[in-house]
């Protein structure tokens, strides 16, 4: 049994280095380094590596010397090109950076269909293939774009820095838009479509596979046999951290909201492609994932609080008051609804420039009604995405992680609208916990708050009425691309 383990979780905003001793975490975090120029953003990998090493050195040396595993979790899609001398030769474009849209616009519909059939992913500028093609065509730091290069995603880069070995993992590979997820191999056809035939990729391993012993800067601080593993893509590690089952819907909340489920086979149907469903491979590589994200969740709540000058304390008390009013049926005359497209719309109609709106305002509208309408809208948006993409399976529970676990109003509305039990899992660092579980096979136990769907006829009638209203507004909005 492994008692001491280090986990590295590279997130969009923060990077977290955690020393685990007898299942107890000690966390050291820092802002993920970036280079921003206008609307272009790169991750600064050199500084990232320097900061990681510096944080590791601050832990207790006695405990460090007992570390037998380092497990890496990370955002996907972003990476760097290295040459045949294993030197970095390109920028590391942030996953959310849109500059590779220039490449996307050059891909025909026939090629898009083929890409989806091979990779299970809808064409998007965020994926690695588009970034690689952009780098070869437009990155002035690459002097000879026809030379041979290897693409390393961020966790692959860290494995290389820690061990000197070149390797990647299934969940990361399946987010590159270069990986054949059915045949589990890098696709030559995809390389041809993107004109990146001179690019190679590391060997792909299962999540948690030992990829080599630590060498170099920090080897003398750790157990002499310390191995490095990739836990995987951050969402997949998070799902592993809460022990996601096939009968569960995974709901990861934050600035955005992501929905994921586990399945035995990918869905590459025309309907799935139209709805923008993203397929992937899970940390348990026998299973696949179906995944979609809604671009507005926490960001809409933040706008609401800022626009109406509501403090966190005031917002929390308002939510509790609104929940009491909802349970007392005193809000059932309200028709206030938010369409939370404050950063574009999500599945099944992904329109980046779709605008948010508030319906049903009068001079008598109260803050409680606005708050209620906000969470109704967020919950209805979840319902629409679910119905378009995940209705083919029967689920028993929605497992929620992230800031929404502290929102009882949102959780109860989601349970009532979906007709499913909602389990809010109080995992402070769920991605790191998942990486830890993958590396050590030790399961952690977190507090769970459960919300059960209402059996009250009057609540069901009100919610059904408001859902029909929401769908009518939503459909008209999508029709006219407002």
Task: Give CA–CA dist 72/5, Å, rounded.
Answer: 11
- Kindly tell me if the per-residue pLDDT of 106 is higher than 80: yes
- 191 DSSP assignment: H
| Prior bond of 358 cis (ω within 30°) | no
- Predicted confidence at residue 371, as pLDDT, reads 98
- Predicted confidence at residue 293, as pLDDT, reads 85
Which residue, 430, 455, 334, is CA-closest to 27? 430
Task: Give CA–CA dist 107/105, Å, rounded.
Answer: 6
Q: How confident is the model at residue 388 (pLDDT cuts 50, 70, 90)?
A: confident
117-164 tens-digit pLDDT: 999 999 999 999 999 999 999 998 888 888 999 999 999 999 999 999
Domains of the chain with bracketed CATH? 4-235 (3.30.420.40), 243-426+452-482 (3.30.420.40)
| Inter-residue contact 356 to 296 (CB < 8 Å) | yes
**Which run of H or of E encompasses 29?**
strand 24-31
421-473 tens-digit pLDDT: 999 998 878 999 999 999 999 888 888 999 999 999 999 999 999 999 999 99
11-60 tens-digit pLDDT: 998 999 999 998 999 999 999 999 999 999 999 999 999 999 999 999 99
If you average pLDDT over every residue of the chain, what do you get? 94
Judged by average pLDDT, the poorest of 175-179, 263-267, 352-356, 431-435 is 352-356
- Kindly tell me if the per-residue pLDDT of 336 is higher than 90: yes
Q: Stretch 197-211: mean pLDDT, rounded?
A: 98
Q: Stretch 407-419: mean pLDDT, rounded?
A: 97
How large is the angle between the packed helices 45-57 and 154-163, nearest 10 degrees?
50
Integer Rg of the chain from CA: 23
Higher pLDDT, 253 or 369: 369
- Kindly tell me if the per-residue pLDDT of 95 is higher than 90: yes
Task: Give CA–CA dist 482/476, Å, rounded.
Answer: 9
Structure tokens at 367: 């803050």
Structure tokens at 221: 């601080």
- 265 DSSP assignment: S
348-364 tens-digit pLDDT: 888 878 899 999 999 99
- Kindly tell me if the per-residue pLDDT of 392 is higher than 70: no
Contacts of 104-113 with C-beta under 8 Å, sequence gap 24+, read 104/130, 107/193, 111/193, 113/273
Share of residues in the chain with pLDDT > 70 (%): 100
| Inter-residue contact 70 to 19 (CB < 8 Å) | no
Strand (E) positions, 360-413? 397-401
- Predicted confidence at residue 76, as pLDDT, reads 92
Structure tokens at 324: 């009491």
Task: Give CA–CA dist 253/265, Å, rounded.
Answer: 25
Q: Could you write out the DSSP letters of every residue in 422-467?
A: EEEEE-TTHHHHHHHHHHH-PPP--EEEEE-----HHHHHHHHHHH
What sections of 256-364 are H helices per DSSP?
Answer: 270-274, 298-307, 312-327
- Predicted confidence at residue 229, as pLDDT, reads 98
Q: Could you write out the DSSP letters of every residue in 389-402?
A: HTTTS--SEEEEES
Secondary-structure percent of the chain, ordered helix, strand, coil, rounded to 5: 35, 25, 40
Q: Which residues pair with 230 in a beta bridge?
A: 72
| Inter-residue contact 175 to 225 (CB < 8 Å) | no
Q: Given the structure tokens 């029967």, which residue do they identify?
A: 394
**At a CB cut-off of 8 Å and minimum separation 6, what does 100 contact?**
93, 125, 126, 130, 131, 133, 134
The pTM assigned to this predicted structure is: 0.90
Task: Give CA–CA dist 45/16, Å, rounded.
Answer: 15
- Predicted confidence at residue 2, as pLDDT, reads 84
| Inter-residue contact 374 to 338 (CB < 8 Å) | yes
282-306 tens-digit pLDDT: 999 999 999 988 888 888 999 999 9
């Amino acid at each position: 049994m492994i008692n001491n383990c280090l986990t590295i979780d590279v997130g969009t905003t923060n990077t977290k280095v955690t020393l685990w001793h007898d299942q107890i975490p000690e966390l050291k975090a820092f802002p993920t380094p970036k280079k921003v120029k206008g609307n272009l953003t790169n991750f600064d990998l050199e500084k990232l590596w320097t900061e990681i090493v510096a944080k590791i050195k601050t832990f207790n040396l006695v405990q460090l010397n007992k570390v037998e595993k380092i497990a890496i979790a990370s955002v996907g899609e972003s990476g760097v090109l290295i040459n045949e001398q294993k030197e970095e030769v390109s920028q590391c474009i942030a996953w959310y950076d849109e500059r590779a849209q220039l490449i996307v616009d050059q891909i025909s519909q026939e090629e898009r269909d083929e890409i989806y059939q091979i990779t299970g992913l809808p064409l998007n500028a965020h994926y690695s293939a588009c970034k690689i093609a952009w780098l070869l065509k437009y990155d002035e730091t690459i002097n000879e774009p026809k030379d041979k290069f290897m693409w390393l995603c961020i966790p692959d880069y860290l494995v290389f820095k820690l061990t000197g070995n070149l390797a990647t993992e299934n969940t990361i590979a399946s987010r590159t838009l270069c990986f054949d997820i059915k045949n589990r191999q890098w696709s030559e056809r995809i390389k041809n479509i993107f004109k990146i035939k001179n690019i190679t990729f590391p060997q792909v391993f299962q999540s948690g596979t030992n990829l080599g012993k630590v060498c170099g800067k920090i080897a003398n601080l750790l157990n002499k046999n310390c191995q490095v593993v990739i836990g995987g893509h951050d969402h997949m590690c998070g799902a592993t951290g809460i022990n996601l089952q096939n009968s569960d819907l995974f709901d990861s909340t934050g600035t955005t909201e992501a929905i994921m489920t586990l399945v035995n086979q990918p869905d590459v149907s025309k309907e799935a492609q139209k709805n923008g469903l993203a397929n992937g491979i899970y940390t348990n590589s026998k299973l696949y994932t179906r995944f979609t994200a809604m671009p507005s969740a926490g960001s809409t709540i933040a706008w609401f609080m800022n626009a109406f000058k509501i403090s966190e304390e005031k917002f929390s008390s308002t939510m509790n008051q609104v929940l009491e009013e909802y349970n007392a049926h005193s809000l059932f005359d309200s028709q206030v609804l938010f369409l939370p497209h404050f950063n574009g719309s999500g599945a099944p109609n992904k329109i980046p420039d779709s605008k948010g709106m508030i319906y049903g305002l009068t001079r008598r509208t109260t803050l409680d009604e606005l708050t209620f309408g906000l969470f109704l809208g967020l919950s209805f948006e979840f319902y629409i995405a679910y119905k378009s993409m995940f209705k083919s399976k029967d689920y028993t529970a929605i497992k929620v992680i992230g800031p929404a676990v502290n929102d009882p109003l949102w959780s109860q509305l989601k349970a009532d609208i979906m007709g499913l039990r909602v389990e809010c899992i109080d995992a402070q660092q769920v991605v790191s916990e998942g990486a830890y579980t993958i590396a050590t096979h030790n399961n952690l136990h977190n507090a769970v708050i459960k919300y059960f769907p209402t059996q009250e006829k009057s609540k069901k009638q009100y919610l059904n009425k408001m859902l029909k209203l929401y769908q009518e507004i939503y459909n008209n909005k999508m029709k006219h691309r407002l």
